[in-house]
Amino acid sequence: MAKKSMSADGNFNAISAPDYLPLAQLRDLQLQRLQATVQRAYEHVAVFRERMDERGMKPEAIASLDDIAKLPFTEKSDLRDNYPYGLFASPIHDVVRLHASSGTTGKPIVVAYTQEDIDTWSSVMARCLAACGLHRGDIIQNSYGYGLFTGGLGAHYGAEALGATVIPASGGNTDRQIMLLRDFHVTAICCTPSYFLHLIERAEEMGVHVNDLPLRAGVFGAEPWTEAMRAHIQQGTRVKAFDIYGLSEIIGPGVGIECECQAGLHILEDHFLPEIVDPATGASLPEGEAGELVLTTLTKNAMPMIRYRTHDITSIQREPCACGRTIRRIERIGARTDDMFIIRGVNVFPSQVETALLSVEGTLPHYQIILTRQKGLDQIEVQVEVTGATFSDTIGAMEKLQAQLSHAVENTLGLRVDVQLVEPHTIQRSQGKAKRVIDHRNEGA
């Protein structure tokens, strides 16, 4: 594809050009690509064809972008039910790469790429990194896991397509990561936000101060995080923290990215068409209203995804971004319907707890939510680390902080919550996605 022939100088413009397409041209391109994708899926994916036939629909029914609402949804269960190759629209000899989810529940989900799909993925990831202000000359440490997970290789190919220098550190081995950060003069890092917190904490212990390093950008994703967490990172370091969005079912990382305005995530919608639907009824919602994000791939060959239900709650922003990109933005994803838990009839998202905790001075962004059931009644306990200085403070001061935190969390959730202050380093650090909720409610029941 074109990236290899891009001139090294001024490649930012060449890489980012599709972000700025005139709107009419973008919508035309999307419609053309949507029609081709529906046609391809109808011809090659039996499940999709059956669902279309059940509705008496042919691919020709898609005459405008709004017609997408007539198409059937795809759910994660469809990927499991058609494991491993049932949703492929390309013969296996055209597939050059497979990735799979870890499969914590049941069978993993498998995703496939043709060479053209890999090139698309590299180009969208390069655009994402460019939107964060990265370019040729940057040294990018990629601490997403390499392997079946899409994070590592997705970011890797994107950084190379950008023309940057990529260090394939992968996840884990924190002390070595810190040595690489320092010795290789790393300017940007890709990892989960919780792992970055762990890195800077460990670096301090090793006598390496992040603010003495040339590190200036973090591209953080693969787990939900909050504005409060961003503020914590940006106030404590010189690292500008960008939110990146993606999911394996669609392509991997590279579906959406914050630009330097940090005001919502631009969806690379020349490749991924976003819709917002009512999570309960599936009805399309107008631009600006919050609901579940549904994505349709517009250029994927090996595994087109039509109206994929992400279970991520967000809205599409109506206003154009100050950066001038014409591709639309979604609100930062604070909640996934999958992460939500119900306690005493109240819907709770871990991100609500995070925001409440970080609103109080003296806490660290390391916390865990523990759910138990006592005499048939659900209990919620939040353990949060407090700074060393706070922890060695007087009992009176600790009690005051505990009361403040309980008040902040209870106000947000509308529930009585038991907040426990714990010493720094009490809560287990993750090498990848942080485990925020431990649910003991159905144990021994």
40 or 325: whose CB is closer to Zn ion?
325
Binding mask 265-304 vs Zn ion (x if CB under 5 A, - otherwise)? ----------------------------------------
Which of these ranges, 74-82, 320-328, 366-374, 436-444, lies near Zn ion under the rule CB under 5 A? Answer: 320-328
Backbone phi and psi for residue 291, each to the nearest 5 degrees, phi listed first: -175, -160
Closest to 383 (Cα-Cα) out of 412, 347, 420: 420
Which of these ranges, 109-117, 292-300, 323-331, 336-344, lies near Zn ion under the rule CB under 5 A? Answer: 323-331
Q: Is 87 in the site for Zn ion (CB under 5 A)?
A: no
**Residues in contact with 224: Cβ distance below 8 Å, sequence separation at least 6, in sequence order:** 333, 334, 335, 336, 339, 350, 351
Q: Is 316 in the site for Zn ion (CB under 5 A)?
A: no
Q: Which of residues 346-365 bind Zn ion (CB under 5 A)?
A: none
* Shortest Å distance, C-beta 325 to Zn ion: 5
Count of positions on this chain that bind Zn ion (CB under 5 A): 5
244 or 417: whose CB is closer to Zn ion?
244
**Residues in contact with 242: Cβ distance below 8 Å, sequence separation at least 6, in sequence order:** 131, 132, 217, 218, 219, 220, 257, 258, 262
Cis peptide upstream of residue 84 (ω within 30 degrees of 0): yes
Q: What amino acid occupies position 367?
A: Y
Strands 329-330 and 265-267: antiparallel
Kindly report each contact of residues 329-333 with a partner whose C-beta sits within 8 Å and lies 24 or more positions away, as own/partner.
Answer: 329/263, 329/264, 329/265, 329/266, 329/267, 330/245, 330/256, 330/264, 330/265, 330/267, 330/274, 330/293, 331/264, 331/265, 331/290, 332/227, 332/243, 332/258, 332/264, 332/265, 333/224, 333/245, 333/265, 333/293
* Shortest Å distance, C-beta 86 to Zn ion: 38
Residue located via tokens 């005493």: 344
Burial class of 332 by CB neighbour count within 10 A (0 to 12, 13 to 18, 19+)? buried
CA distance 235 to 344: 36
* Shortest Å distance, C-beta 263 to Zn ion: 7
100 or 321: whose CB is closer to Zn ion?
321
* Shortest Å distance, C-beta 257 to Zn ion: 9
* Shortest Å distance, C-beta 120 to Zn ion: 21
* Shortest Å distance, C-beta 127 to Zn ion: 12
* Shortest Å distance, C-beta 332 to Zn ion: 13
Which of these ranges, 162-170, 178-186, 191-199, 313-321, lies near Zn ion under the rule CB under 5 A? Answer: 313-321
Residue located via tokens 């039910």: 81
203 or 321: whose CB is closer to Zn ion?
321
171 or 254: whose CB is closer to Zn ion?
254
328 or 436: whose CB is closer to Zn ion?
328
Which of these ranges, 144-152, 178-186, 233-241, 254-262, lies near Zn ion under the rule CB under 5 A? Answer: 254-262
305 or 321: whose CB is closer to Zn ion?
321
Strands 217-220 and 240-247: parallel
Q: What is the DSSP letter of 320?
A: P
Q: Which of 178, 321, 369, 384 binds Zn ion (CB under 5 A)?
A: 321
* Shortest Å distance, C-beta 316 to Zn ion: 14
Closest to 173 (Cα-Cα) out of 199, 208, 206, 146: 199
* Shortest Å distance, C-beta 102 to Zn ion: 32
98 or 261: whose CB is closer to Zn ion?
261
CA distance 216 to 341: 36
Backbone phi and psi for residue 442, each to the nearest 5 degrees, phi listed first: -105, 15
Which of these ranges, 50-58, 146-154, 193-201, 255-263, lies near Zn ion under the rule CB under 5 A? Answer: 255-263
* Shortest Å distance, C-beta 295 to Zn ion: 19
Closest to 254 (Cα-Cα) out of 281, 219, 287: 219
Which of these ranges, 166-174, 284-292, 325-333, 421-429, lies near Zn ion under the rule CB under 5 A? Answer: 325-333
Kindly list the distances between the CA atom of residue 321 and the CA atoms of 167, 265, 277, in Å, as whole numbers in the listed order. Answer: 32, 10, 23
Q: Is 259 in the site for Zn ion (CB under 5 A)?
A: yes
* Shortest Å distance, C-beta 329 to Zn ion: 7
Q: Is 323 in the site for Zn ion (CB under 5 A)?
A: yes
Q: Which of residues 41-70 bind Zn ion (CB under 5 A)?
A: none
Residue located via tokens 């497979």: 98
Helix H or strand E encompassing 171 = none
257 or 302: whose CB is closer to Zn ion?
257
288 or 320: whose CB is closer to Zn ion?
320
Binding site for Zn ion (CB under 5 A): 259, 261, 321, 323, 325
